[in-house]
Structure 1
Amino acid sequence: MRGEASRIADRVSRDSLAPKLKATGEDAWRVGNELFAVTDLLDHNVQVERALTDPARPAADKTTMVHTLLEGKAHPMTVEILDDLVQRRWSKPHDIANAVEDFGVDAMMYYADATGTTMKVSVELAELHSALLNMPVVRTRLYDEHSSAEARVTLLHNVLSGNEISKVTMRLAEHATANPRHRRYLATIQWLINKLSRHMGESMVTVTTAAPLSDEQIDRLTKIYTKRTGHAVHINSVVDPTVLGGMRVQIGHEVNDNTVIAQLNKLKRSVQVTA
């Protein structure tokens, strides 16, 4: 949980710089990748993180340190974002890394906007989340910090091989894999889905069934969940034959699982308890 100072710093910084970041267009891809690299640097170098957030240190010293770290090779927007962040007050040193990561994700979303792939990214992330729900061993290995980042990313590529994934989806999934940031993998993917949904001004409703939904079913579900949430929704239909029948609906962190396999598992647990 971020403290009040960090929440204010993060909000004011993003509100002031969002229009400029969006205006970078396709350059936002480079900015996002650079910010992810800085996030990784801060996560693995406590001394640097503390130096950049020390309230007793002059702002000019901190911006000079930023320029030294970037060695004059970063995009001007990356430099401007970091210069702004190090001049703000943070409740905890680690909160600045969270803010840098947020900006990195924002940059990737703006790149998706510039290339017309925002909805595709949102759907692909939802599909990845749904697929990993049935792959507990794989998702555990994807955020196993005892394994090297290279090994985890290689596993991710193997899992996604054969799928035509957009470059933004792949980059976000790689970032979540290479630097788990002490989060469970599905939690990070859900966080990204929620950010995309807010960015698009609608909610992603992932509906998993054994057979494809008809157009009529999708229309009906859209109306039901638009009314229930009070704003526009997008139905992401995922087909998973292993659920056998019924429907699993996920909105954000809320999951309503009425699939046959879920009911069978529930019955199995009930029998084990009473045995």
Structure 2
Amino acid sequence: MAVDMKGASRQALSALRGVAGNPSAQDAGRISQDLFVAIQVLDSSLPLRRALTDPTRESASKSALVEDLFAKSISAQSLSIIKSGASERWSSPSNLPAALEIIAIEVEAGAADGVDVELMGIAHALSGAKELSSALMGGRAIDSLVSDLFSQKVSAATLRIALAIARNLRGRHFISALEESANVAGARRKKTVVHVRSAVSLTSAQSERLRASLGKELGREVSLDLTVDASVIGGIEVKFDDDMVDGTIARRLAEAGRKLAS
């Protein structure tokens, strides 16, 4: 999912969003699970990815291939999303499964609030954790660890995404993949995930003032990803996606954060 969607792939992703729509929470869960199954199949075969993204191949032929592969195992709505993906033009074959992953996360986030915060929370909880390193060194499946630690602490939507990512890392580091997923989920809710590191824990009042101030500056809802780090110089550090905020606003937001937390 870290693939940078450009040109044809960006347009194709936009088209997929239109097909996916805004399903109910129940439908969103089924769609995301279906899409993650399809992603695993696509990632397992480069010839298949090429076949479904070949611009010289007729759409009817690609649609029939999708039917043969998935019609018996996934819902009609999920099947239509994958067929739509196969009918689009992609800059690279790898962009199709990457786009389907984005759609899977977005449909979940669109139907349930807080997915972005919970995904980031899992990432923080496992970042540098001995349990994760032990799981990797000992050959234990990461999804088993995630289920054991978080099944009672996060929503069903968040857990589905985290488990799906763990089962199909696609060459990524698990923590980075979770953070990327959190940003996708936040963007779907038209929220910017702002990463805040502070030398000391912020009070609830400070956090709320900071969230409101940053949201006003950005002109959209803000979700705070809070981390305590005693090494932070100046008391607080504010970061966010570079492609969402320009440098001038970035400096103003960082300064606002320092003032509000003081």
After TM superposition, the score normalised by the length of structure 2 is 0.76
The range that moved more, 87-96 or 26-35, is 87-96
Task: Tell me: CA distance 1:235–1:106, structure 2 relative to 1, closer, same or farther (3 Å).
Answer: closer
Task: Tell me: CA distance 1:97–1:219, structure 2 relative to 1, closer, same or farther (3 Å).
Answer: closer
Partner-residue secondary structure (3-state), 1:165:
coil
Partner-residue secondary structure (3-state), 1:168:
helix
Partner-residue secondary structure (3-state), 1:174:
helix
Contact 2:43–2:170, Cα closer than 8 Å, also in 1: yes
Which residue identity lines up with residue 116 of structure 2 in the other structure? Answer: S
* Counterpart Cα distance in 2 of 1:110 and 1:47: 33
Q: Deviations over 1:6-35 (max 9, x none)?
A: 222222332x3143xx14541121111010
The range that moved more, 50-59 or 206-215, is 206-215
Partner-residue secondary structure (3-state), 2:141:
helix
How is 1:112-261 mapped onto 2 (pairs within 5 angstroms)? 112=112, 118-119=113-114, 121-135=115-129, 151-160=141-150, 163-207=152-196, 213-237=202-226, 243=230, 247=236, 249-252=238-241
Q: In the alignment, does 2:8 pair up with 1:8?
A: no
2:19 to 12, 17, 24: 17
Partner-residue secondary structure (3-state), 1:93:
coil
CA shift for structure 1 position 230: 4.0
Partner-residue secondary structure (3-state), 2:194:
strand
The range that moved more, 25-34 or 211-220, is 211-220
* Counterpart Cα distance in 2 of 1:3 and 1:251: 21
Contact 1:140–1:185, Cα closer than 8 Å, also in 2: no
Task: Tell me: CA distance 1:236–1:46, structure 2 relative to 1, closer, same or farther (3 Å).
Answer: closer
Task: Tell me: CA distance 1:158–1:6, structure 2 relative to 1, closer, same or farther (3 Å).
Answer: same
Partner-residue secondary structure (3-state), 1:182:
coil
After TM superposition, the score normalised by the length of structure 1 is 0.73
* Counterpart Cα distance in 2 of 1:71 and 1:222: 45
Contact 1:190–1:252, Cα closer than 8 Å, also in 2: no
* Counterpart Cα distance in 1 of 2:238 and 2:123: 12
Task: Tell me: CA distance 1:156–1:250, structure 2 relative to 1, closer, same or farther (3 Å).
Answer: farther
Task: Provide the aligned C-alpha RMSD in A.
Answer: 3.1
Contact 2:102–2:184, Cα closer than 8 Å, also in 1: no
Structure 2 gap segments, 5+ residues each: 243-249, 255-262
* Counterpart Cα distance in 2 of 1:13 and 1:35: 12
Structure 1 gap segments, 5+ residues each: 113-117, 257-275
* Counterpart Cα distance in 1 of 2:138 and 2:68: 31
If asked which structure has higher relative contact order (CA below 8 Å, sep 6+), I would say: 2
Task: Tell me: CA distance 1:147–1:9, structure 2 relative to 1, closer, same or farther (3 Å).
Answer: farther
Task: Tell me: CA distance 1:141–1:41, structure 2 relative to 1, closer, same or farther (3 Å).
Answer: farther
Contact 2:200–2:230, Cα closer than 8 Å, also in 1: no
Contact 2:132–2:142, Cα closer than 8 Å, also in 1: no
* Counterpart Cα distance in 2 of 1:58 and 1:219: 54
* Counterpart Cα distance in 2 of 1:37 and 1:170: 16
Give me the identity figure in percent: 26
Deviation above 4 Å: which 4+ runs of structure 1? 137-142, 206-212, 242-250
Partner of 1:259: none
Q: Deviations over 1:99-136 (max 9, x none)?
A: 22122112222342xxxxx12x222122222223343x
Q: Deviations over 1:126-185 (max 9, x none)?
A: 2222223343x655677x6x987x722123334436x52211111111122111112222
Which residue identity lines up with residue 102 of structure 2 in the other structure? Answer: D
* Counterpart Cα distance in 2 of 1:226 and 1:35: 32
Contact 2:49–2:94, Cα closer than 8 Å, also in 1: yes
* Counterpart Cα distance in 2 of 1:108 and 1:234: 17
* Counterpart Cα distance in 2 of 1:232 and 1:24: 22
How is 1:53-72 mapped onto 2 (pairs within 5 angstroms)? 53-72=53-72
Figure out how many residues of one structure are paired with residues of the other and give that number: 239
Contact 1:35–1:104, Cα closer than 8 Å, also in 2: yes
Contact 2:105–2:185, Cα closer than 8 Å, also in 1: no
Contact 1:66–1:82, Cα closer than 8 Å, also in 2: yes
